[in-house]
A and B are shown apart, each in its own frame.
Chain A
Amino acid sequence: MTDHSALLHETLAAIAQAGDEAALESVRVAALGKKGTISALLATLGKMSPDERRSAGAAINALKDEVSAALDARRVALKSAGLQARLEREALDVSLPVRRAGVETGRIHPISQVLDEITAIFADMGFAIAEGPDIESDDYNFTKLNFPPGHPAREMHDTFFFAPDDKGERKLLRTHTSPVQVRTMLTQKPPIRVICPGRTYRCDADQTHTPMFHQVEGLVIDNSATLANLKWVLEEFCKAFFEVPHVAMRFRPSFFPFTSPSMEVDIQCRRSGGEIRFGEGEDWLEILGCGMVHANVLRNCGLDPDVHQGYAWGMGIDRIAMLKYGLPDLRDFFDADLRWIDHYGFKPLDIPSLAGGLSGS
């Protein structure tokens, strides 16, 4: 029995020393290649007697198997080490800042966000969104709404006017979205349920007034709508909008030319710091005006006040946005200061829904 242990040790040592796949390959060729040491041993088997061959063959094949296994193991080890080295070379600096995605930096203005919230609530109650032009006639902005001639609101110090046209008619910038109510009543048959959001204008500029602001009005006309229903609509709206389970509202008699009875509505709240909490507290905060549509307005819009009846209300979108989200200064709404928009604006995909909660996360 020939002793192959020297060859085995020598080959295994060579395998262990092979530093890369090419070196390993030459070791393999030297051992198992056509002219390799182990191949040479295998070649000697042919000349042996069957008995010799049986014992020597087993030994040589064992030697070959052991060397092959060592080669395989070394190959795997070398490959793994190579990959490891490549990965180390490929390391990147994860601390480098990346570009911020548009969905991260973009912002929706609070007015748009709040309008979407209002829309979600009233759409559920079956209200459509009615819109109309900002440039209105005196007739739609005042006369049809039962403003008497000479009413102070019709003066230049309150209302923005344009120069008279050929017919001597003076157009104006609507001072409320009520002309949209007029347009709706003139073109649609009751039952009517609409809200009228939009830009409105008054000659006013100080700390709490801007010459342009946003209003949303509501109108319900059918043949049974009562003040009691109006209370319900407003209460449901306030609960949904301010996202509180309960609100206390106070209806105070008031006066508007286009409604009778007319009311102003206060909502109960607690002020602490810059924050207002609704549904609790001792303070009352005025948030809207409302009333039963005046018989003259119905008549002016072609409806018979003894047949049709309804109610209307109006509130400032900017104002309720300020109240809900704690925005301190109306003037900032129209200044487009990036810092303000980034801070008070809403993320692009924070889309208000009743299912998900109006103000999202």
Chain B
Amino acid sequence: MKFTLSWLKDHLDTTASLAEIVEALTRVGLEVETVEDASAKYKGFVVARVIEARQHPNADRLRVCMVDAGGGPVQVVCGAPNARTGMKSVFSPVGTYIPGKKITLAKGVIRGVESNGMLCSAAELELSNDHDGIIDLPEDAPVGAPYATYAGLDDPVIDVALTPNRPDATGVAGIARDLAAAGLGRLKTQAQAAIAGGFDCPTAVKLEFSADGAKLCPAFALRLVRGVANGPSPEWVQKRLRAIGLRPINALVDVTNYITFDRGRPLHVFDLAKVSGALSVRRARAGESVLALDGKSYALDDGMVVIADAKGVESIAGIMGGEHSGCDAATRDVLIESALWDPSNIAATGRKLGIVTDARYRFERGVDPEFCLPGAELATRMILDICGGEASRLTVAGDPKKPRRVIDFPYSELKRLIGVDIPEDEGMAILARLGFEARAGKVTVPSWRPDIEGKADIVEQIVRIAGLSRVPVTPLPRLNEGVPAAVLTPLQKRTRLAKRTLAALGLREAVTWSFIAKPAAELFGGGKPELALANPIAADLSDMRPSLAPGLIAAAERNARRGFPNVALFEVGQIFLGAGENDQRIAAAAVRRGLAKTRGEGRHWSGGGPVDIYDAKSDALALLASLGVAAGAVQIVPGGPAFLHPGRSATLQFGPKIVAGWFGELHPQALEALDAEGPLVAFEITLDAVPLAKARPTKAKPRLERSEFMPVQRDLAFVVEERAPAGDLLKAALAADRALVVGAEVFDVYRGSGLPEGRKSVAISVTLQPREKTLTDAEIEAVVTKIVAEVEKRTGATLRL
């Protein structure tokens, strides 16, 4: 909402400075976005007369001008072709900031002649793009006068950002009311006396709605002014409209625009000569359309309200008039419309048609019903004053009167909510200045404040005008004395821990979109219709992600394409199994691409190479360990989801039923479908699925059991079928004697010469931990024999001798 300072002063009798007004506006909730103060911008520019313009002695295209700017003559070198003796123009002395050139003018010597200022073009003042010559002012322009004052540019334009609850502030008068309430002056808006009218309005108005549609147009007032002369509106009207960015059109239209901004009351004018018969206010009919004043044709539907005559739709109610019945220079008889519309219907219609107008802006917020008829009177007055003519009586269909809301308001409510008292007489005075009527614990809300619904809203009015700075800063007492208790849930703790753990493994945390492309979602087990956005912002951000992996893979690929092929990324965040409120999970996932191995990234003299599934497995197990999962508690089942390499993937399970995640190398077809390149490995673990440790009554750790006897290690190599999992050998070795065998590790896997085709050698190291006495050689031998037998029995391996 824009207005000028002088316009505000039509309604507010004040001695406050611009700065004080701006500060007060923001303080009371009318946030000032910008103040364009042209008198500041054009400081230094004055009207001047060129006493003499003669040819520059050393340059064909330059002139040396002696300028009278109100002081003594000043010499200026000027390049404008139109500089001539006797003309009046705009002069800027040395030291003036030239907005169009973004420089501060300095004294200069041009081709040997001193220049002490500048005669300015319109472009240099940012008034237009015209830089062909200096501004040519009329002969009567007063020499020495500030140019901004002379040109009427010295009326600061204030732009306030209105919150949607303040229709009253869509007019300058309403803004003045708030300022007056805040103590910045006296509200002096004049009430408009009704104009009797000498004859009946010849055009009848019919509200054609069924009972449930009556609220769409509570009232419609119409008046004819006949015999008008519709020329340009007076300069003061045009100047104000231009200042706030509106284009003056003609007096009749300008009056409606003026009142829209002056009072927040949109109006419409029809040229009687172009209206056929009575005006019907009704729902649009399917198939109807209208050519609106913006020159565009709009298809209408029965959710919209129109004003129609015998020939069809003449205007889209409350939004924009029709081209056909608009007023132009030829208009002699004008119908003035001042109506009330249903705010939500106007909003819906405006959105549907994509029309943003000053009328819609006001009607969808809710205009003052009690100003419906005064608005028509004010428009009539202005039209009679500017265009002459003779007014009819006012025709009113419907009833603009609406009962005012009355709210029970015990004054104690103020302190209850804001925590401090503002004296009651002060609070009541504020309400009175805002137009509220308060009596005996009841407050009547003015017709222009449809947003005031309850006690708290009244508290808000008092405190915003009295000043929020008066509310003290009062500590919120702790609920419990003493040291604050822990607040995080187990899953919240896990989420934090997972992030720190994965970062400590050298992975970088990414935050990727919750929505991904549908094919990617489908590839990772998602893509359900219930998880597809009806209005995605882009085709590749259409479906809620079933996994973090697609987003991370895409991120890795982006980095690779930027020249960073070795990428280690993780994310901990939500995945979506369904649209229900319990279908969301927290997952942790990581991808490693290129040479970004767990032991370090990139090529290295100490060795390295492309990522493989053991990197992903290592990340996954490190995460599980940090979440408190005991080693061996998770089962690693070969094979995983279809987007993984079938021979290079595994599922992470807790028992047969709980699938907590997977790790592996991406399936080449999956990578291709994602338009990504490998080598790329990944893991994903659903944090909710990882079983929590049982709660214990104390924080004491279980007793440490440690043997007094040295552990014994024995190395054994087995030859086994190529596909046999090495893990089975370890499991068998551990199972051979659960009391003595406490550890088993693979330290070598060998394939090649010396071995039968299709077989590999797996060398394991087993650790025996005696508990009661040192083992004899014979006892050790016996255990080793048991281990060999168990491994051979369970895996089909044979001891390699």
Contact = CB atoms under 8 A, between A and B. Distances in A.
Interface stretch (A36-44, A65-73, A79-87, A198-206): A198-206
Given A123-B487, A295-B456, A336-B569, A348 B503 contact: yes
A55 interface: no
- Which residue, B475, B511, B576, B598, has most C-beta atoms of chain A within 10 A? B511
A147 to B, nearest CB: 11
B69 interface: no
B507 A106 contact: yes
B606 interface: yes
B479 A152 contact: no
Interface string B521-537: 00000000111111111
Contacts of A125: 476, 478, 484
Interface in B439-495: 451, 453-457, 459-460, 463-464, 468-469, 471-476, 478-480, 484-489, 492
Contact of B419 (A109, A148, A228): A228
A72 B53 CA distance: 114
A224 B567 CA distance: 53
Given A203-B535, A253-B468, A152 B351 contact: yes
A231 interface: yes
A223 to B, nearest CB: 10
A309 B416 contact: yes
Interface stretch (B163-171, B645-653, B723-731, B739-747): B163-171
B581 interface: yes
Contacts of B82: none
Given A150-B347, A228-B474, A109 B509 contact: yes
B512 interface: yes
Contact of B474 (A132, A226, A347): A226
Nearest to B344: A150
A57 interface: no
A336 B468 contact: no
Given A226-B417, A235-B473, A106 B506 contact: yes
A227 B471 contact: yes
Interface string A190-233: 01010000010101110000011000000010000111110111
B166 A255 contact: yes
Contact of A348 (B419, B500, B564): B500
A262 interface: yes
Contacts of B456: 260-261, 292, 294-295
B555 interface: yes
Interface string A171-203: 101000000000000000001010000010101
Contacts of B347: 150, 152
Contacts of A229: 419, 474-476
Contacts of A128: 487
Nearest to A165: B530
A296 B163 CA distance: 19
A11 B507 CA distance: 69
B559 A337 contact: yes
A102 B592 CA distance: 13
A112 interface: yes
A103 interface: yes
A255 B476 contact: no
Interface in A302-354: 309, 333-339, 341-342, 345, 347-349, 351
| Tier of interface size on chain B | 35 or more
Contacts of A231: 471-474
- Which residue, A112, A152, A201, has most C-beta atoms of chain B within 10 A? A112
Interface stretch (A1-9, A14-22, A25-33, A154-162): A154-162
Given A128-B487, A135-B576, A227-B418, A102 B504 contact: yes
Given A106-B505, A106-B507, A133 B581 contact: yes
Nearest to B161: A254
A262 B502 contact: no
A95 B503 CA distance: 27
Contacts of A204: 537
Contacts of A337: 558-559, 562
A336 B476 contact: no
Interface string B401-416: 0000000000000001
B605 interface: yes
A102 B451 CA distance: 57
Contacts of B511: 109, 111-112, 333-334, 336
A287 to B, nearest CB: 15
B599 interface: yes
A101 B506 contact: yes
A163 B504 contact: no
A99 interface: yes
B492 A129 contact: yes
B470 to A, nearest CB: 10
A356 interface: no
- Which residue, A336, A341, A345, has most C-beta atoms of chain B within 10 A? A336
A283 interface: no
B750 interface: no
Contacts of A246: none
A143 interface: no
- A contact face: mostly helix, strand, loop, or mixed: mixed
Interface stretch (B21-29, B124-132, B192-200): B21-29
Given A107-B508, A107-B509, A228-B471, A149 B344 contact: yes
A90 interface: no
A220 B476 contact: yes
A127 B418 contact: no
A136 B584 CA distance: 11
A260 B228 CA distance: 49
A100 interface: yes
A96 B605 contact: yes
A211 B569 contact: no
B479 A126 contact: yes
A261 B464 contact: yes
A248 B510 CA distance: 34
B417 A193 contact: no
Nearest to A100: B600
A97 B582 CA distance: 50
Contacts of A148: 344
Contacts of B155: none
Contact of B499 (A108, A173, A253): A108
A348 B504 CA distance: 5
Nearest to B572: A112
A99 B534 contact: no
Contacts of A339: 564
B420 interface: yes
Interface of B: 26-29, 31, 163-166, 344, 347-348, 351, 416-420, 451, 453-457, 459-460, 463-464, 468-469, 471-476, 478-480, 484-489, 492, 496, 499-500, 502-515, 529-538, 541, 544, 552, 555, 558-559, 562, 564, 567-569, 572-574, 576, 579-584, 598-601, 604-606
4 closest pairs, A vs B, by CB? A226-B419, A253-B29, A228-B419, A102-B506
9 contacts: A116-B496, A132-B581, A135-B544, A135-B579, A162-B532, A228-B473, A253-B460, A260-B454, A335-B555
Given A99-B600, A205-B538, A232-B473, 5 more contacts: A98-B606, A112-B572, A211-B513, A252-B468, A351-B500
Interface of A: 96-109, 111-112, 116, 119, 123-129, 131-136, 148-150, 152, 155-157, 160-163, 165, 170-171, 173, 191, 193, 199, 201, 203-205, 211-212, 220, 225-229, 231-233, 235, 251-255, 260-264, 292, 294-296, 309, 333-339, 341-342, 345, 347-349, 351
